[in-house]
Amino acid sequence: MRFLVDQCLSVELAERLAAAGHDDVHVASYGLSRADDEEILARAAAEGRVLVSADTDFGGLLAARDVVVPSVVLFRRRTRRRPHEQAMILLTNLAVVEEDLDTGAIAVVDDAGIRIRRLPIGGT
């Protein structure tokens, strides 16, 4: 898969996803460390990347846009926060959520598991 890892998550997470064979970029690599959420969403959509973040604002932005791209993997605060743990959770569950992410979804990750919300959120 193609991932764009948001600034609020570690570069180490991006490195671990890349080491597992994924096409992965951290926003810092693009010089987007101070970019607003709209710009980050646009970059992920333009490049066909799944945005990986812990910023809950992305769900609201996607709902307001009524779009199916980009998909987002959202790590909730209750989730283990170490980059190696986040990578393990995502990589372990990727086969289960990959089809949804390919077609447009928000995958919410917490310690209880992963919940999928199909896009568009507005229901069109």
pLDDT per position as a tens digit, 9-54? 999 999 999 999 999 999 999 999 999 999 999 999 999 999 999 9
pLDDT per position as a tens digit, 52-96? 999 999 988 998 888 999 999 999 876 667 999 999 989 999 999
Collapse the DSSP code of 3 into the 3-class scheme (helix H, G, I; strand E, B; otherwise coil) and give the result: strand
AA letter at 115:
R
Domain layout of the chain by residue ranges: 2-118
Contact 17, 3 (CB under 8 A): yes
The alpha-helical segments, DSSP class H, found in 6-103 are 11-19, 37-46, 57-65, 83-103
Model pTM score: 0.94
